[in-house]
Each structure stands twice: as C-alpha cells, then as structure tokens.
Structure 1
Amino acid sequence: MNVLTPVQTQTMKAAVVIGAGRLRVEDVPLPQPGPGQLRVKLEGCGVCASNLTPWAGPEWMRFPTEPGGLGHEGWGVVDAVGENVQSVAIGDRVASLGQHAYATHDIADENAVVPLPAEFDGKPFPGEPLGCALNIFKRSDIVAGQTVAIVGIGFLGALLTQLCVAAGARVIALSRRPFSLDLARHSGAGETIPLDDHWRIIEHVKQITNGRFCDRVIEAVGKQWPLDLAAELTRERGRLIVAGYHQDGPRQINMQLWNWRGLDVVNAHERDPAIYIQGIRDAVTAIRSGRLDPSPLYTHRFPLVRLDDALNMTRDRPDGFVKALIVYP
C-alpha cells in the first residue's frame, strides 16, 4: 500500500446506526485498501432519501449498521491505494461509489470512482445522485419541443428540471411545497402546479396541453399517488419514467390506462456500477458545460455528529430544504 504522507492515526470517525432513529459516532480502525482498491479521505457525503427506510427501523433491518454504512454519496481525496491500481493516484480528488461514506474515510474499487476536475475544488460533489439524474435524463429520451411533466421537485426533480429545460423541453413542475415550485420556476419550468387535488391537476394539465397531455412524465416521489397521477398525465404513446424510489412496499398500477394509451414505461433505476459511473462522468460534463448547476440545491450542511438531524430533516422536508450534506473537517 502507498500513502501520501505517514499516517498520523490508525483510526477514523464513523457513524453507526444502533436502532430506529438512533446513532452514535465511533472511533474505528482505519480501513486499508486491498488489491485494486483505494481509500478516500472524505470531504463530505450527501444524505439520500433511500436511507430513510432503514433509519425508521423496519422489521427486516439489522442493527447496528457497519461503520459508515448507508452513506454512498461520498467525495474527497485519495490518500492510499492498493496494489495494481493504475488509473488513480494519491492526491486525486474523486467522487466515490463507496458504501460506507458516513465516515471520515471510505474504501472503493478503482473502477468505482470518478476523478474531478480542478475547477470543482472546494465544491461539494455527491456523485451518486448527480449520476442518477443524468442516467434518468438519458433514459427519458427528451428532446427540444417536448412537453415534460416532473412530478416531485426535490433534489432529483430539480436537477431533472434543469436538464430538461437545457434540452429545450417545456417543463411542467408539480410539487406539494411552494418553495419547491419557486425553485422549479427559477430553474426554468414553464408551468408550476401544486401537488394537491388529483382530478384538478389532471384537468389543469389537459387544459394547458390542449387536451394532449405530456410527451414525457417523470415520477420522482416514490409513492403510490404520484405514480398514479404521473400515468394520467402521460399522453397516448408517451413515455412514463419511474424515477421515484419505491422500496417501502408493493404498488398497484392502472393497467387499463397504461394499456389503452400504449404507454412506454421506463423504470429508470440503475444497478450496474459501470452505468452509475458513466452517469457521474456525464454529470461532470453537464456541470462544466453549464447545463446543470446543483450548487443552489445543497441547502443544509451538518457535521457527522449531527447525521441524525440531517436524516430527520431529509424525512420531514421543512420549508427551504432540498438536500443535506454531511461535511468532514
């Protein structure tokens, strides 16, 4: 193993979830990279809404978690590499797909990191959700002139609003929070609609699209009703893109509607790490070109000892909240 400087300590700080809604920060042994791996001294980690189900302590969840577990949106500087690592060097700043990033250090495979350009220095870069947004956008097949409805304007929905506007699409943004609708307007959405009454929304969208509905509808909430609504807003032979995280139970669908309208339905979640990595590379390109600017969306920052507050805020989504980051000194 190579190191940038002599290691001053053999321990690191890591969050351990010990029960539903409870965690502690522990001093644990500093992990060492094996062959083909590297270690990242993390600058920060984004807080993902997918953490909320295990944080709530469902029956299947096992506590305590592994140190740093659940954190998967890390970025930082490589401080050690294992044998046979060729493409990344000590001192490189990277976005990582490591899975233990609620800690000051994390291990990742060489092919699970993306080097970040120098102009990103000092700026947060939670690569996993940024790459997710680019992959969803790519699978949505959005082109100029289309009408695109985005159901749910959180971090993901706001990123997709920017990307769709940059592509020349007309965006209809739907969200329950006035703050999120304001955010969508500032990102270029042509129409914003409160996510309240099911039939009122359908009639409104029907009216503003001259009865045609939307070429593309991206559902980005992860709940039953928004999924139902998204299908209703998709035109005949349109594309319904499921981007929400539907992992809190089974869903029912209106197959009669889907079948009658001849909808193309895309489940836009990726599991192949190589596709995730390409999405992160595409996010780097999109930010450098000006098509994407995530910086206004990082609304709250917390130290590791306040990870519980960050998770609770991600769950409760108070006014003004979009995305929480855990930052390390």
Structure 2
Amino acid sequence: MRIAALRGRETFEVEEAPVPSIEPDEVLVRVVASGVCASELEPWLTGPRVGEAQYPGHEVSGVVVEVGAEVTVPAAGDRVGVWVTERGFAEYVAVRAAYCFPAGDGRLDEALAEPIACAVNAVEAADVRLGDDVVIIGAGFMGNLVQKLAALRGPRQLIVADARADALERAVGLGATRTVDVTKESLPDVVRSLTGGRGADVAFECTGTQRALTVCGDTTRMSGTIAIVGFHQGADRTIPLAYWNWMAFKVVNAHFRDVAVIMRGMSVGMRLLAGGVLSMDGLVSHRFPLEEINSAFATLREKPDGFVKAVVTFPEP
C-alpha cells in the first residue's frame, strides 16, 4: 500500500509499505479520506530530525474490508469514521473496532469523526445553555463546526468574528445572528452593544492566536465561560491573569486526551452526522490525491479565499 512519510521540512514522500495486519479486536479500513489538521502544520513546517520519518494523519474515514476474529460490529463493507493517532495518510489503517463509528450515507470525505468529536466535546464542556449569548472567534473549519453544534443548544445570539470576508459570509449562511469583521469593528464593543453591556455568556476561541485569546477576555461577561478550541503552536501565549481572576471566568481547555471522552465525542458527533442533524456540506473545500499531500499542507498554511478544510482522498478500487 502507499503511505505518506514526513522526511524533511515541508516534505512528505509517498512510500510503499505492507498492508497492516489486524488483531482479533481490530478491523482493517480502506481509507477514503484523511483530513489535514492544523495541529499537524507545525511538524510539516519544521520536519523531523535528519534521517528520521514521521507518519501523521488522524482524521480518517473509510470502508471496513476485514474484521478480526472477536469483532461483531462493524462488518466488512460498513462505512465508518475512525480514530487513529498516526499513519492516517495511507491506503489502509488497522484500528480497534471500538474506535469505528457508522458514517451514514453521506460523503465519506466529509465524515471526519475526530474533528467532529473535538467540536462536540468543546461545546459540551463549555455548557452552552438555552438563551445564551455566544461568541465564536474564528470562522474556519473548527469555528464552523462549533457554530453548528452550539446552534443546536438554542442560544439567543451567535456572534461570529473573523478577519476574512469569505469566512464571515459562510458564517452568515450557517446561521450567525451577527458577524464582526475584526479589521473594521471592535468585537468587544459590538458584543457589549448587543448584550446591554453585559458581555458574552460563552466565548469560543477557535484561531490559536494570541490576539483572539486576548479578545476573549474583553468580550466575556463576569463569571462567563472562555473555551480554548484553537490549537496554540509556536510562541508562548500570555493573558492578564489578575483581570481574568477578577472576572471569575470559567476557562475550558477544549482539548482532550482521555480516550473515553474522545470516544463519546465521536459517538455523539457521528450519530448527529449519520442522522442528518449535523451537515458537513461545504466544510471540506479542498481535496488532494496522496501524491499532492504537500500541496494540501501548503494550502492549509496559505488559506486562500474560500478555504475551509483540506483532505487527502484515495480513489475507489
């Protein structure tokens, strides 16, 4: 089978490798799509140590082609979203059956269970409630998912901020009650005007930048919730902790490493997707074959107009 190996700065190489063997509690999945995650961007930019290789890829969907002796579900032929931690940019992955979730009848290249789970867990951890005023900073892929899921909680207002006109237009299409172009308006001022000076009940930081983190503190009401969804890479971040203490914010780290939490998020997210409650339509904007995986990562870095999410796709046999 073919697999992408990261062997240098901005350099994936497509290599041949054996098809993985499976354990009795595992299944073999033919990969249809593997999402390009922002958390993998910095490793691609820096590359591994000289002479070493890395095998990233963890946002996988595909079709079960073989099941282990102890597996009752899923069955061969089932369409699934799966959880793997590496080696996802490959034609096949071996994965525990318990880490596979039905993908329904929609597009498999949009059935990205891992990022959907991240957004589900973020919204649940932030505990958006009926009638809340919610701010989402960042209208990229994760911001869009958070917006869609937060909307299911029945907020009074969904205010979405970004610096890109196309992203804000997409947020409107997804049901934002107000958008804020942060290059032209002050987000804290807009939020205060919409909430009678009170501030947001819940603010989701979905960009992974210092500026957005800072603005969260200026946007959220006393005893409100700040949920850090963005993946913060590179330089250390700073916050005015004395002010955050005084404001008694509830700070939610919306990144989870507990497998049980991840699995529950996947189960909930894929039930919503397969049941038609959550739509991924339009959220995968760029598709690349395995041979163009470096272009997929470059597109994530450059974020051209209209960019939301890139996936690496594999042709049907």
Q: TM-score range by the shorter chain?
A: over 0.9
Quote the offset at 1:81 in angstroms: 2.7
**What is the aligned counterpart of 2:211 among 225, 230, 237?**
225
8 Å contact kept, 1:112–1:273: no
Partner of 1:254: 240
8 Å contact kept, 1:298–1:323: yes
Partner of 1:102: 89
**What is the aligned counterpart of 2:177 among 190, 202, 220?**
190
Quote the offset at 1:176 in angstroms: 1.2
8 Å contact kept, 1:134–1:282: yes
1:127 and 2:113 are equivalent in the alignment: yes
**What is the aligned counterpart of 2:168 among 181, 191, 201?**
181
Quote the offset at 1:61 in angstroms: 5.3
Partner of 1:155: 141
Q: Which deviates more from structure 2 when the two are superposed, residues 250-259 or residues 299-308?
A: 250-259
Quote the offset at 1:223 in angstroms: 1.4
8 Å contact kept, 1:44–1:328: yes
Q: Are residues 151 and 61 of structure 1, via their aligned partners in 2, closer, same or farther at CA, if it must alter by over 3 Å?
A: farther
**What is the aligned counterpart of 1:299 among 285, 288, 295?**
285
Partner of 1:49: 38
Q: Are residues 27 and 289 of structure 1, via their aligned partners in 2, closer, same or farther at CA, if it must alter by over 3 Å?
A: closer
1:30 and 2:19 are equivalent in the alignment: yes
1:78 and 2:64 are equivalent in the alignment: yes
1:311 and 2:300 are equivalent in the alignment: no
Output the CA distance in 2 between the equivalents of 1:122 and 1:243: 25
Deviations 1:250-294 (A, max 9, x none): 221211221111111110111122221221221122234544211
8 Å contact kept, 1:54–1:61: no
Alignment of 1:260-271 (within 5 A): 260-271=246-257
8 Å contact kept, 2:34–2:109: no
Quote the offset at 1:34 in angstroms: 2.3
Output the CA distance in 1 between the equivalents of 2:50 and 2:203: 36
Quote the offset at 1:25 in angstroms: 0.9
8 Å contact kept, 1:17–1:63: no
8 Å contact kept, 1:162–1:291: no
> What is the identity, as a one-letter code, of the residue corresponding to 1:204?
V
| Number of aligned positions between the proteins | 313
Q: Which deviates more from structure 2 when the two are superposed, residues 313-322 or residues 20-29?
A: 20-29
Output the CA distance in 1 between the equivalents of 2:168 and 2:213: 19
Q: Are residues 121 and 301 of structure 1, via their aligned partners in 2, closer, same or farther at CA, if it must alter by over 3 Å?
A: closer
Output the CA distance in 2 between the equivalents of 1:269 and 1:188: 25
Quote the offset at 1:112 in angstroms: 1.7
Output the CA distance in 2 between the equivalents of 1:46 and 1:88: 22
Partner of 2:53: 65
Deviations 1:139-174 (A, max 9, x none): 111122110000111111011112222322111101
Q: Are residues 62 and 100 of structure 1, via their aligned partners in 2, closer, same or farther at CA, if it must alter by over 3 Å?
A: farther
Output the CA distance in 2 between the equivalents of 1:26 and 1:250: 36
Q: What is the TM-score normalised by the length of structure 2?
A: 0.93
8 Å contact kept, 2:103–2:274: no
Identity %: 33
RMSD: 1.9
Q: Are residues 146 and 289 of structure 1, via their aligned partners in 2, closer, same or farther at CA, if it must alter by over 3 Å?
A: farther
Q: What is the TM-score normalised by the length of structure 1?
A: 0.90
Quote the offset at 1:56 in angstroms: 0.7
SS of the residue 2:158 aligns to? strand
SS of the residue 2:279 aligns to? coil
8 Å contact kept, 2:30–2:91: yes
Q: Are residues 122 and 136 of structure 1, via their aligned partners in 2, closer, same or farther at CA, if it must alter by over 3 Å?
A: closer
1:14 and 2:3 are equivalent in the alignment: yes
Output the CA distance in 2 between the equivalents of 1:161 and 1:264: 20
1:141 and 2:123 are equivalent in the alignment: no
Quote the offset at 1:86 in angstroms: 3.3
Partner of 2:78: 92
Quote the offset at 1:296 in angstroms: 1.1
SS of the residue 1:183 aligns to? helix
Quote the offset at 1:197 in angstroms: 6.9
Q: Are residues 269 and 211 of structure 1, via their aligned partners in 2, closer, same or farther at CA, if it must alter by over 3 Å?
A: same
8 Å contact kept, 1:213–1:233: yes
Partner of 1:9: none
Deviations 1:199-235 (A, max 9, x none): x332222222221110000001111111111121110
8 Å contact kept, 2:33–2:108: no
